[in-house]
């Protein structure tokens, strides 16, 4: 756990403060922050503004983390920016060995260099982990977003909703507007509200607007929050390229649909078997994904689930939702020390009452799941980790026409 953003700030100073003058929407939360950031960026682009989006983690390619006007940056631009950032880090550490920028500091600085070089007007920055001590907290968001709060990364952020909320609320700066998807009056909201009161920051809670029309799904909630961000920017005087006030109307259904991210309820077909790829990795997000997918008549059958999990995830909580809802569960692992083995997941899944097989590597697990799904008329759900999604997505993309 880092104790300061000072290394990131020192690195940016060495690079000439590439973030200076960039206008920022800063997004954190336990789930949905990536999709919400992508939606906000799409709305800004629809308004005719030149916008960059900084995201993490990536699913397949590092370039996914730095997006300008809806397109991943080129290998050449990423190479140049990382080179500058790494050179600056080497010089900084040689001069001040006690200042030791992390890999994420280097990547964040490289992204900001790209945005500066490419003449971006606005950036939508997604927090990597937490908020208060995250590398992105060198930025001052005009609108800050907290999508929701769950018990996650507890070894780093704290083991209560209030502690995690306080860390995430650390991105809020004086003079900002806060858009929150956290239920008012909750333990997490009390911590967030205390920060807002301290800084005299207004709080917008769009999910509690009785007039909202979005369906009660993960995508609907993300869309509602993103539209509220655009409206908040408009209230602050931000205008579209044509001079009209920025607002929720700049994020229509077509624009929102085009802003989808890889590995978020992403659909594929392998022959006659439907496959859904989702990076949900907390009990609440897994439950929400199952509820959303259950609305689709084409997915009425129980799925064959391919599950991989990092060691810091609540395996018992996740299996509580998956075991009774799956036709069969295939446990797997991406094979790093940070992830549970297929055998560990299988043992816990059996204890939770699931019918289990195990297979590694992930490609073998997917093939096994497809075989079982064909035999039973089921579909396949790959869930539990964006690392797992990244391992399987290249193969699944080849099945698209």
- 101 Cβ neighbours under 8 A, 6+ residues apart: 7, 8, 10, 11, 89, 92, 93, 109
pLDDT at 214: 57
Model pLDDT for residues 255-273, shown as the tens digit of each residue: 999 999 999 999 999 999 9
Q: Which residue, 47, 54, 48, 62, is CA-closest to 22?
A: 54
Calculate mean pLDDT across residues 271-277. Answer: 95
Q: Which two tokens stand for residue 174?
A: 């004086």
Does the structure show a pLDDT above 70 at 213? no
- If asked whether residues 221 and 335 sit together in one domain, one would say no
- If asked whether residues 251 and 298 sit together in one domain, one would say no
More confident position, 262 or 2:
262
Dist. CA 71–CA 80, nearest whole Å: 17
Taking each continuous run of H as one helix and of E as one strand, the counts in the chain are 14, 14
Does the structure show a pLDDT above 60 at 401? no
Most confident range (mean pLDDT) of 83-92, 254-263, 333-342 is 83-92
Does the structure show a pLDDT above 60 at 192? yes
Dist. CA 169–CA 30, nearest whole Å: 12
Can you give the length of the chain in residues?
Answer: 401
pTM: 0.92
Model pLDDT for residues 173-188, shown as the tens digit of each residue: 999 999 999 999 999 9
Local confidence band at 101 (pLDDT 50, 70, 90 cut-offs): very high
- If asked whether residues 280 and 352 sit together in one domain, one would say yes
- If asked whether residues 250 and 325 sit together in one domain, one would say no
pLDDT at 215: 58
Phi/psi for 268 (5° steps) reads -140, 165
Local confidence band at 216 (pLDDT 50, 70, 90 cut-offs): confident
Dist. CA 217–CA 278, nearest whole Å: 14
Q: Which two tokens stand for residue 221?
A: 């909630």
Question: Does 209 reside within a domain?
Answer: yes
Counting the structural domains of the chain, the total is 2
Question: Does 381 reside within a domain?
Answer: yes
Q: How many CB atoms are located within 10 Å of the residue 278 CB?
A: 25
- If asked whether residues 320 and 356 sit together in one domain, one would say yes
Dist. CA 363–CA 390, nearest whole Å: 11
Does the structure show a pLDDT above 90 at 234? yes
Question: Does 363 reside within a domain?
Answer: yes
Question: Does 1 reside within a domain?
Answer: no
| Mean pLDDT of the chain, nearest integer | 93
- If asked whether residues 140 and 46 sit together in one domain, one would say yes
- If asked whether residues 161 and 235 sit together in one domain, one would say yes
Does the structure show a pLDDT above 90 at 158? no
Question: Does 235 reside within a domain?
Answer: yes
Does the structure show a pLDDT above 80 at 284? yes
pLDDT at 152: 76
- If asked whether residues 244 and 328 sit together in one domain, one would say no
Domain of residue 79, residue span: 6-257
Question: Does 161 reside within a domain?
Answer: yes
- If asked whether residues 119 and 230 sit together in one domain, one would say yes
Strand-pair category, 66-68 with 51-54: antiparallel
């Amino acid at each position: 756990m880092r104790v300061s953003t000072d290394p990131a700030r020192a690195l940016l100073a060495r690079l000439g403060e590439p973030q200076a003058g960039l206008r920022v929407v800063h997004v954190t939360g336990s789930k949905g922050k990536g999709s919400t950031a992508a939606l906000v960026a799409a709305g800004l682009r629809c308004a005719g503004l030149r916008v960059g989006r900084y995201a993490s983690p990536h699913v397949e390619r590092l370039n996914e983390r730095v997006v300008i006007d809806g397109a991943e940056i080129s290998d050449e631009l990423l190479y140049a920016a990382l080179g500058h950032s790494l050179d600056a880090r080497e010089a900084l550490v040689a001069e001040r060995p006690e200042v030791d920028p992390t890999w994420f500091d280097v990547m964040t600085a490289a992204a900001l260099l790209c945005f500066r070089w490419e003449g971006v007007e606005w950036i939508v920055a997604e927090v990597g982990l937490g908020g208060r001590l995250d590398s992105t907290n060198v930025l001052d968001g005009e609108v800050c977003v907290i999508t929701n709060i769950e018990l996650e990364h507890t070894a780093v952020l704290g083991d209560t909703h209030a502690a995690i909320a306080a860390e995430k609320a650390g991105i809020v700066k004086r003079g900002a507007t806060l858009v929150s998807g956290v239920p008012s009056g909750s333990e997490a909201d009390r911590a967030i509200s205390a920060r807002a009161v301290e800084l005299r920051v207004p709080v917008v809670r769009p999910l509690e607007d009785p007039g909202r029309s979005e369906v009660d799904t993960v995508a609907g909630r993300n869309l509602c929050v993103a539209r509220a961000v655009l409206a908040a920017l408009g209230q602050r005087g931000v205008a579209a390229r044509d001079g009209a006030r920025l607002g929720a109307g700049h994020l229509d259904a077509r624009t929102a649909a085009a802003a989808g991210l890889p590995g978020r309820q992403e659909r594929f077909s392998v022959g006659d078997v439907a496959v859904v790829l989702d990076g949900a990795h907390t009990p609440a997000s897994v439950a929400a994904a199952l509820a959303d997918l259950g609305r689709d008549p084409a997915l009425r059958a129980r799925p064959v689930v391919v599950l991989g999990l990092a060691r810091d995830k609540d395996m018992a909580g996740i299996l509580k939702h998956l075991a009774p809802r799956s036709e069969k569960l295939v446990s797997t692992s991406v094979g790093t020390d940070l992830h549970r083995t297929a055998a560990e997941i299988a043992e816990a899944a059996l204890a939770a009452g699931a019918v289990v097989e195990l297979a590694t590597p992930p490609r073998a697990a997917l093939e096994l799941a497809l075989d079982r799904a064909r035999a039973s008329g089921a579909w396949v759900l790959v869930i539990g980790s964006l690392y797992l999604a990244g391992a399987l997505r290249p193969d699944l993309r080849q099945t698209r026409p």
